[in-house]
Amino acid sequence: MDHILSAAEVFNKNAALYQQKYMNVEPYHASFDLFCQHIPQENAAILEIGCGPGNVTRYLRDRRPDFRILATDIAPNMLELARVNSPGATFEPMDARDISHISQQFNGIMCGFCLPYLNQEEAAKLIADAADRLLPGGVLYLSTMEDDYEKSGVVTSSAGDKVYMYYHPAAALTTDLENSGFEVIFTDRKQYPGFDGNMTTDLLLLARKK
């Protein structure tokens, strides 16, 4: 079973509900601001992986109207909402595992909560692909839910939808980042309700390409 495609079906079906629940990204403002601060170039090219309903896209556009954002998501209904919520960005359908198909290079890559749907090998490949797509000195933002990888498994939402969630410890991601030529410049953790409503530890990482 392809867990990402299964998750995409759930998010496509529940796009409006997801928008209602997650458009407020205030707990992550400080880390998004740090991402913006580490991109001093005017009219910087930004790739957003897994943009959902455009919640992060909208915040980045508000903070840095000069950003040229290419935002991608695998769920068509999410993209439709994102186009409404974040006019001015460019939106394209794309699986997070396929960013190597993009020929453009970027000053920054935003990847908010895609990793919970990628296994260890897929997460390592995404990081390596991000390094290839970034210009020297470019920055990569990653957020995920942190726990022992062995605890990964099927999670059921309050609405009865089932999604396979992968947990990624900071040490493993840091190793993947370093192996792909990144330097981790920021790490933070937040307590936040997960897909099933239970509290989870959200891990936030910012890394610079050497």
Residue ranges in 135-196 assigned as alpha helix (H) = 170-179
- Render pLDDT for 138-194 as a digit per residue (tens, 0 to 9): 999 999 999 999 999 999 887 789 999 999 999 999 999 999 999 999 999 999 777
- Which stretch of DSSP H or E encloses residue 192? strand 182-193
- 176-189 CB burial, b ≥16 within 10 A, e <16: bbeebbbebebeee
Give the whole-angstrom CA distance, residue 133 versus residue 90.
17
The pair of structure tokens assigned to 158 is: 């309050």
pTM: 0.95
Domains of the chain: 3-209 (3.40.50.150)
pLDDT tens digits for the chain (210 residues)? 688 889 889 999 999 988 998 899 999 999 999 999 999 999 999 999 999 999 999 999 999 999 999 999 999 999 999 999 999 999 999 999 999 999 999 999 999 999 999 999 999 999 999 999 999 999 999 999 999 999 999 998 877 899 999 999 999 999 999 999 999 999 999 997 776 677 889 999 999 999
- Which stretch of DSSP H or E encloses residue 182? strand 182-193
Query: HSE (CB half, 13 Å, CA atoms) of 179?
Result: 13
What local confidence, expressed as pLDDT, does residue 195 receive?
Answer: 66
Give the whole-angstrom CA distance, residue 145 versus residue 34.
20
